[in-house]
Chain A
Amino acid sequence: MRKVNQKGWLFVLPVVVLVAFNALIPMMTVVNYSVQETFGDNVFFWHGLGWFEDILKSDRFQAALGRQAFFTFLILIIEVPLGVIIALSMPRKGFWVPVCLVTMALPMLIPWNVVGAMWNIFTLPDIGLLGYFLNHVLGISYDMTQNPTAAWITVITMDVWHWTSLVVLLCYAGLVSIPDAYYQAAKIDGASNWSVFRYIQLPKMKQVLTIAVLLRFMDSFNVYTEPFVLTGGGPGNSTTLLSIDLVKIALGQFDLGPAAAMSLIYFAITLFASWLFYTLMTRNDVK
Chain B
Amino acid sequence: MAKITLDKLRHSYMANPSGPQDYALKELNLDWEDGGAYALLGPSGCGKSTLLNIISGLLVPSEGRILFNDKDVTQLPPDRRNIAQVFQFPVIYDTMTVFDNLAFPLRNRGIDESRVKTRVEEIAAMLDVTDMLRTRAANLTPDNKQKISMGRGLVREDVNVIMFDEPLTVIDPHLKWKLRSKLKELHHRVRATMIYVTHDQTEALTFADQVVVMQDGEVVQIGTPVDLFDRPQHTFVGHFIGSPGMNILPCDLRDGRAFVAGHQVSLEGAVTGSSGRTEVGIRPEFVSLGATGLPATVRKVSDLGRHAVVEAMLGDTKVNAIVEGAVPGQGEAVHLTFRPDQTRLYRDGWIASEQGKAA
Residue numbers of A with Cβ under 8 A of B are: 179, 181-182, 184-185, 187-192, 195, 199-200, 203-204, 286-287
Contact = CB atoms under 8 A, between A and B. Distances in A.
Contacts of B94: 203-204, 286
B85 interface: yes
B79 A190 contact: yes
B286 interface: no
Nearest to B83: A188
A188 B136 CA distance: 22
Given A181-B91, A190-B108, A286-B138, 16 more contacts: A179-B91, A184-B56, A184-B58, A185-B149, A187-B77, A188-B84, A188-B85, A189-B105, A189-B152, A190-B105, A190-B109, A199-B93, A199-B96, A200-B93, A204-B94, A286-B136
Interface residues of B, number: 25
B350 interface: no
B88 interface: yes
Interface string B77-89: 1110001110111
B32 interface: no
A26 to B, nearest CB: 43
Contacts of B85: 184-185, 188
B329 to A, nearest CB: 51
A284 to B, nearest CB: 8
Given A189-B104, A190-B105, A190-B108, A184 B87 contact: yes
Contact of A188 (B78, B88, B139): B78
Nearest to B86: A185
Interface of B: 56, 58, 77-79, 83-85, 87-89, 91, 93-96, 104-105, 108-109, 136, 138-139, 149, 152
Nearest to B90: A181
A182 B96 contact: no
18 contacts: A181-B89, A184-B78, A184-B85, A185-B87, A187-B58, A187-B78, A188-B78, A188-B83, A189-B79, A191-B104, A191-B108, A200-B93, A203-B93, A203-B95, A204-B94, A286-B94, A286-B136, A286-B138
A189 to B, nearest CB: 4
A190 B153 CA distance: 12
Nearest to A184: B58
Contacts of B95: 199, 203
Main secondary structure of the interface of B (DSSP, over half): mixed
Contacts of B149: 185
A187 B152 CA distance: 13
B139 to A, nearest CB: 6
A108 B58 CA distance: 39
Contacts of B93: 199-200, 203
Contacts of B152: 185, 189
Given A286-B94, A286-B138, A192 B87 contact: no
B56 to A, nearest CB: 7
Contacts of A187: 58, 77-79
A188 B159 CA distance: 11
A181 B109 contact: no
Contacts of A287: 139
Contacts of B139: 286-287
Contacts of B105: 188-190
A111 to B, nearest CB: 40
B99 to A, nearest CB: 14
B96 to A, nearest CB: 7
A188 B160 CA distance: 12
B104 to A, nearest CB: 5
A25 to B, nearest CB: 44
A182 B91 contact: yes
Nearest to A192: B108
B315 to A, nearest CB: 49
Nearest to B159: A188
A93 to B, nearest CB: 14
B88 A181 contact: yes
A192 B110 CA distance: 12
B138 A189 contact: no
Contacts of A179: 89, 91
A85 B108 CA distance: 24
A200 B84 CA distance: 18
A105 to B, nearest CB: 29
Contacts of A182: 91
A181 B87 contact: yes
Best-buried of B87, B91, B139 by chain A (most CB within 10 Å): B91
Contact of B79 (A188, A200, A203): A188
Given A184-B58, A199-B96, A203-B94, A189 B89 contact: no
A176 to B, nearest CB: 16
Contacts of B138: 286
